[in-house]
Structure 1
Amino acid sequence: MTLERGNSLMPVHAATLMWPTGIATGAGAVAGALSFLLALPAVTIAGPIGTAIFWFALVGGGVALLGGKGDRRARRWAGQYPWRFAGGPAVLAGIGITLASLFSMGFFGAVVTGVASAAVIWVVLGIIGMVAGNKAA
């Protein structure tokens, strides 16, 4: 796959080339564990899994945009097209949150939750990429 302008798969590809798996996994695990402990009397699992997926995508995307590691071409592309880059983690998190909350909320509730979470991640990562994206990478 080439890293060119107009490539439709570039957001996901750029995210995977720059993704800080250790930091993102740690953030997701801590957020999910804290959410599970706060919801312990109810013993629900869908909420903590959704929280873990949300923070995994948000922290991973933010560190990928702000960090200096990863492929320089992918960082430059993400700096030039921050809203396209933000779409990759947002869509993946939205799908994951929808699937995690499908059985506890029903179909419509899960879809609304997934779309709302994806929109929040997209806006936050898009603003981070616009303001502090590494355009000169």
Structure 2
Amino acid sequence: MRVVVQRSKQAQVTVEGKSVGAIEHGLVLLVGVTHDDTEQDARYMAEKIAGLRIFEDETGKMNLSVVETGGQILSVSQFTLYGDCRKGRRPNFMAAARPEQAQPLYDRFNELLREQELKVETGVFGAMMDVALVNDGPVTLIVESR
């Protein structure tokens, strides 16, 4: 799994002009799944992201997790994270898992985040979505299970 993690002051995802998920303070996660990902990858990623110390403490140091700050999660499926741009001008998406494999794992990843007592909002898997966010910092990280 590959996840782009963005610390956010607020974020929203819309589909066909309708809001389907929104958060205030927390993390926006763009989540990609590849062919050989398993529940073990989803579990590792959920625990890693929930525990990432990327929020500032009272001294201004990145020392607190989204759980510790009472933040929320906006999780958006993003197969294009596995786009390969090394050849030609059009990305190759062969490394992205097919929807029938990716969606159950993406859903499980979100369930595992909820088990960390996080409020998790999502987009709509496979839909064309508009994601708006105010990136806090900006802080953006790429986290991979491999």
Write 1 or 2 for the structure with the bigger share of helix: 1
Point out which structure has higher relative CO (alpha carbons under 8 A, 6+ apart).
Answer: 2
Provide the TM-score with structure 2 as the length reference: 0.36
Write 1 or 2 for the structure with the bigger share of strand: 2
Provide the TM-score with structure 1 as the length reference: 0.38
